[in-house]
Structure 1
């Protein structure tokens, strides 16, 4: 399933819809202004919070957590930097960890689990400016989690 994300998503305090490949509202990103730390909520169309993204307050390399129902689901950290690609590690609380690699600022990267792609993030499929696609390639994957991971790594890369 492919989801379309507008880059304006990163303005704190603003709300933006993520659409599915058929143009229907799939997720609402609710930016929380006036918070001590960077916080976003990813909601379903009915307004239920699916995951909460929070910047960690005291982290040397920068990190963000993805929380569900008040518990940490995953922690996203920068792994290493090379000249052409960024690498991030997503430590999952339950299940295999995820690895993110590619050109984050260009919106061309892949999320892998156990060496197999779970999602591709790309602008090249789209003619719409300031929009990128999150293409979830495994049917058993948690789309909300993968969109949250994409949002986290892009926010972290833009701050660096």
Structure 2
């Protein structure tokens, strides 16, 4: 099962449309326009909020908390490295490995790769494909990918 995440280019805040592998709208992600730090809300196709990614302020490197149902489910923290980005993932017992800068990485549960993320090139705006081994990981995987993207954007700008 796959999801396609497309960033809207002409938007005042971070906005993403998320589609299933058949091109049907599945989720919508919108940032709060005038908030301190990143606050991204994730909505399902019925416009019900299903999760939020919130930046913790007053940290040296980006730290993001992932909330579902108003409860913090985990966090990701960008680590200091010289060449390749590295993240500490405390979320669902998962770990992420790969080339974050090039957006080619996998998420593991134990020894098994459960999610594969790639960035598609030559698109207007950022476009990512998330490939899930188990459809039950869809929402949590989407929240993790959005959090890592936010951490990359925060570090760059």
* TM-score range for the pair, normalised by the shorter chain length: 0.7 to 0.9
- 1:140 pairs with one of 136, 139, 150: 136
- How much has 1:127 moved relative to structure 2? 6.7
Q: What pairs with 1:45-124 in structure 2 (closer than 5 Å)?
A: 45-79=45-79, 81=81, 83=83, 85-92=84-91, 96-123=92-119
TM-score w.r.t. the length of structure 2 is 0.84
CA distance 1:7–1:17, change in 2 (3 Å): closer
Q: TM-score, normalised by structure 1?
A: 0.82
| Stretches of structure 2 lacking an aligned partner (at least 5 in a row) | none
Q: In 1, distance between residues paired with 2:50 and 2:14?
A: 18
The Cα RMSD (Å) is 2.3
Q: Would you identify which runs of 4 or more consecutive aligned residues in structure 1 move more than 3 Å?
A: 79-83, 126-130
* Deviation of the 1:148 alpha carbon: 1.3
Q: Judge which range, 115-124 or 145-154, deviates more.
A: 115-124
Preserved contact between residue 42 and residue 144 of structure 1 (Cα < 8 Å): no
Structure 1 unaligned regions, length at least 5: none
